[in-house]
Amino acid sequence: MSRQALIVWGGWDGHQPDQVADIFAGVLREEGFEVTVSDTLDSFKDEALMAAQDLIVPIWTMGTIEKEQLRPLLDTVKAGCGIAGCHGGMSDAFRNEVEYQFMVGGQWVAHPGNDGVRYEVNMTSSDDPLTKGIGDFEVSSEQYYMHVDPAITVHATTTFADYGSVKMPVVWTKTWGEGRVFHNTLGHQANIVAMPQTLELMRRGFLWAAREA
């Protein structure tokens, strides 16, 4: 029986959520997942659909979510379903929902310099299965200043030289009850998601969150 993944996309169009959903669906299908792609948060209210999932990939920037939509999502992950995503689709979603932010493990708060900042993403360990062989790489995009949960495990960072040389998490993992949570702050638009390094980080994160790695 193939693993099941649910991608739910929407919110602010500037992050190209439909294009990112197509990219992620392709990655997951290559890994043998049966993928359901939805553009409505009401999918989280479908008990049978949620119960069948091994992985949920939210791609929803800002916006609002009703309690009847959010509670099943939180409970499904807490019960053991994985969740994985990137940037605004996951860590700048539903800004009023602190329990959602608690599950994710971080929240976007700023991108000093806006788009086009050149910066490095640095792996924290050469032996980490989620990052091994990818190596440090440069990005020209928004550089994300995050508020993060101290309980996360950090797998990659970037340095804000103008803010006291702060090392800011870029890739992290954590748990939410029995569920695994993977987040990569990269992914302002589809071209950043499609970078080989970003896409490989996401592929590994999907598999880890779904307990296939």
DSSP assignment string, 92-134: TB-TT-HHHHHHHTEEEEE-TT-TTEEEEEEES-TT-TTTTTT
pLDDT at residue number 2: 87
Evaluated on CA atoms 115, 41, 155, 208, the torsion sign reads: negative
Q: Which has the higher per-residue pLDDT, 127 or 1?
A: 127
DSSP assignment string, 129-195: TTTTTT--EEEEE---EEEE-TTSEEEEEEEEGGGTSEEEEEEEEEEETTEEEEEE---SSHHHHTS
Calculate mean pLDDT across residues 52-59.
98
Contact between residue 116 and residue 140 where contact means Cβ atoms under 8 Å apart: yes
Instruction: Please state, in angstroms and rounded to a whole number, the distance separating the CA atoms of residues 82 and 73.
Output: 11
* This prediction's pTM: 0.97
pLDDT tops 90 at residue 75: yes
Q: What is the CATH number of the domain that holds 42?
A: 3.40.50.880
pLDDT tops 80 at residue 196: yes
Domains in the chain, number: 1
Calculate mean pLDDT across residues 116-131.
97
pLDDT at residue number 212: 84
Amino acid at 34: E
Q: How far is CA 210 from the centre of its chain?
A: 13
pLDDT tops 90 at residue 140: yes
pLDDT at residue number 51: 98
pLDDT tops 80 at residue 213: no
Calculate mean pLDDT across residues 193-207.
98
Backbone angles phi and psi of 76, in degrees to 5:
-65, -45
Range of the domain at 54: 4-209
- Band (164; pLDDT cuts 50, 70, 90): confident
- Band (89; pLDDT cuts 50, 70, 90): confident
